[in-house]
Structure 1
Amino acid sequence: MADMTRMTSIEQLNSAVQATEDQPLLLFKHSTRCPISAHAYQEMNDYLHNSPNEHIKYGIIYVVEDRPVSNEAAERLGVKHESPQVILVQKGMPTWHTSHTDITRYTLANTLCES
């Protein structure tokens, strides 16, 4: 089982992105006020509890509670903000992202097994 680390500061986000030189990072941008995001959160947890790629680090950004971090992620990675959203970061660059109902345990497993 893998866990998601909550990103609560821009410094923490920047450090996590820099660390992708050695290990990929999957960022999950989650809104606690959205039912679609609640479903995506469940799908993400199902993926993490069943057969996650252990070579990837997993982070979560609460887009309402930690808005500056969410905005910085969109700006730094050049990926238009959506929530829910997942962004795979490798060597400091986004290499894949998807959002909303496309975030499923199956999509995650199929995409991340190759990373």
Structure 2
Amino acid sequence: MNWNKLTSDAQLNDIKEESAKQPVLIFKHSTTCSISAMALSRMERNWSDQLGVKPYYLDLLANRPISKQIEQEFGIEHESPQILLIRNGECIYDASHMAISFSGLQQAV
């Protein structure tokens, strides 16, 4: 799985534009949280590029202000770990903690 690193709030505009062409996933990850590590591992183990989703990875400890911007841009309350599926500039699906699964993402796509 090839993650695109989300390191700048300016990238959120790019994500919105990209999501008009293909769905975009944002994975908000806390590098010190075991639940977050488990959710990330499950997503990576089950990932298939055939789904046609462009994945972005946000390291919450290194880029906390971006998470706040995501909350404001997409109207989804922050949780960690958390995934957001963006299509046509809107968040059409989100999940957090143990609800994060590749199968749930597949159904949303």
> How far apart are the structure 1 equivalents of 2:50 and 2:77?
25
SS in 2 for 1:27: strand
SS in 1 for 2:19: helix
Superposition misfits of 4+ residues, deviation over 2 angstroms:
51-54, 104-109
> How far apart are the structure 1 equivalents of 2:34 and 2:69?
24
Q: Which residue of 2 aligns with 1:94?
A: 91
1:71 to 63, 68, 73: 68
> How far apart are the structure 1 equivalents of 2:101 and 2:9?
27
- What is the TM-score when the length of structure 1 is the normalising length? 0.86
SS in 1 for 2:80: coil
Residue pair 1:37, 1:83 contacting (<8 A) in 2 also: yes
Residue pair 1:62, 1:70 contacting (<8 A) in 2 also: no
- What is the TM-score when the length of structure 2 is the normalising length? 0.90
CA RMSD of aligned residues (A): 1.5
Residue pair 1:47, 1:108 contacting (<8 A) in 2 also: no
Residue pair 1:85, 1:98 contacting (<8 A) in 2 also: yes
> How far apart are the structure 1 equivalents of 2:50 and 2:80?
23
Q: Which residue of 1 aligns with 2:6?
A: 7
Deviations 1:65-84 (A, max 9, x none): 11111111111010000010
Residue pair 2:20, 2:88 contacting (<8 A) in 1 also: yes
Report the identity percentage.
33
